[in-house]
Amino acid sequence: MTFNDQMRRAFETLTTRLHDEIARQVQTVVDELAASADAQRDEAVADAQAERDRAVAEAHAERDQAVADAHAERDQAVADAQADRDRAIADVKAERDQAVAAALAEQSAAVATAPPAASTDHEANGAASTQVLDAIRAIDEAHTLSGILDALVHSAASGVNPAAVLLVRDGGYSCWRSIGFDPPFERGQSVEVPEGAPVMPIAIGGQAVAVLYTGTQSSELHSQHAAVEILVRHAARCLESVTAFKAARGALANGAGNAAGSADEASTDEDAAARRYARLLVSEIKLYHESDVMAGRRERNLASRLGGEIARARVLYEQRVPAPIRQHADYFHDELVRTLANGDPALLELRT
C-alpha cells in the first residue's frame, strides 16, 4: 500500500468520524429544541386552562348573582302581592263584618220596637243571623270566580227560593246557575226577566256584571231582603278581590319570566299596566261567556259571536290606556288572540 493510499484511507476514516459526530451533535440540538418546544407548549396549555377556569368561575359567579337578584326581586314582588291580597281580604272582611253588624242591629231594633212576641220569634231571628253567617263563610271559602257565584246561588236559595245568578250580556241576561225555577234555567240560556222583578246587581269595579234574580214577589222578599243584599254585596267584594289577585299573580308571572330572561324583554310600567288591564278585560269575557267562547272556537266565528262584548271591552281599554301606549303596541288584541282565540288570530276575523 502506497503512502497516498494510506493518507486517503486515513482521510476517509476521519471524514466518516467527523460526519457521525456532527450528526450526533445536530440530533442533540434537535432533541433539546423539541424538549424546549414541548415544555413551552405544556406551559401555554396550562396558562390557557387556567385562564379558561378563571373565565368559567367568573361566568358562574355572575350567573349565580343574576339568579340571586332575580329570586330576590321575585320574592319581593310575591311579598308585595301577598300584602296587597291580605289588605284586600281584610277590607272585604271588614265590610262584611260591618254589613253583618248593621243587619243584626237592624234586626235587633226591629225586635225592640215590635210588639212583644213569642219566644219562637227570637229563636227565628237568631237562626236567620246564623244562616247569614254560614252563607258568608261559604262564600269566603270559595276561591274562584265561579265558586263564589255558585256559593251565592246556594246561599240565596236557602233563604228565598227560587234564586238564580244571571250574567249581564248585551242589555239582557244569560243564566249562570239557577235553583228552584220550574222549568230550570240552563247554563248560558237567555233569560227574560219580567219588569219589576226582584233583581240585585253584582258589581265589579262599579260595573254590574251579573244580577241575583229571585222569583219571589217583593212583598214576600221583604223579610229576607236585608240578608240577601248582604250576601250579594259580600259576593261582589269577593269577586273583586279574586279578580285583582289573579291580575296581580299574572303580572308576577310575567315579571319573573322577564327577570330570568333577556333584559330586552323588560317594559315600562305603563306597558305592564296596559297588559294587566287587557288581561283582566279579556278574562272577564271568557269567564262570563265561556259557552260562547268554546262554540266560537269550534265554529271559528268568535268575532261575530262575541263582537259586542269585545267592542265594549275595547272601549274600556281605550278609555284607560294612554294613546302613546296604544300606538306602539295593541296589548288588547294580543290578549284576545292568546286567551279567547287560543293563539289562533284567524278565529277573530269577521267571516262574510
pLDDT above 70 for 49: yes
Per-domain residue ranges of the chain: 81-238, 267-348
Sign of CA dihedral 245, 247, 253, 255: negative
Q: Using 50, 70 and 90 to split pLDDT, how confident is the model at 332?
A: very high
Are 252 and 77 in contact by the 8 Å Cβ rule? The answer is yes
pTM above threshold 0.95: no
Characterize 16-34 residue by residue with b for buried, 16 or more Cβ atoms within 10 angstroms of its Cβ, and e for exposed: eeeeeeeeeeeeeeeeeee
| 3-class DSSP state of 324 | helix
Residue indicated by cell numbers 245568578: 165
Tell me the per-residue pLDDT of 154-180, one tens digit each, with 9 for 90 and over: 887 776 668 888 888 777 888 888 888
pLDDT at 263: 35
pLDDT for residue 278: 92
| Domain 81-238, CATH class in plain words | alpha beta
Helical segments of 261-306, H only: 269-288, 290-299, 302-305
Q: What is the pLDDT of residue 220?
A: 47
Tell me the three cell numbers of residue 338.
Answer: 292568546
Q: What is the mean pLDDT of residues 210-232?
A: 69
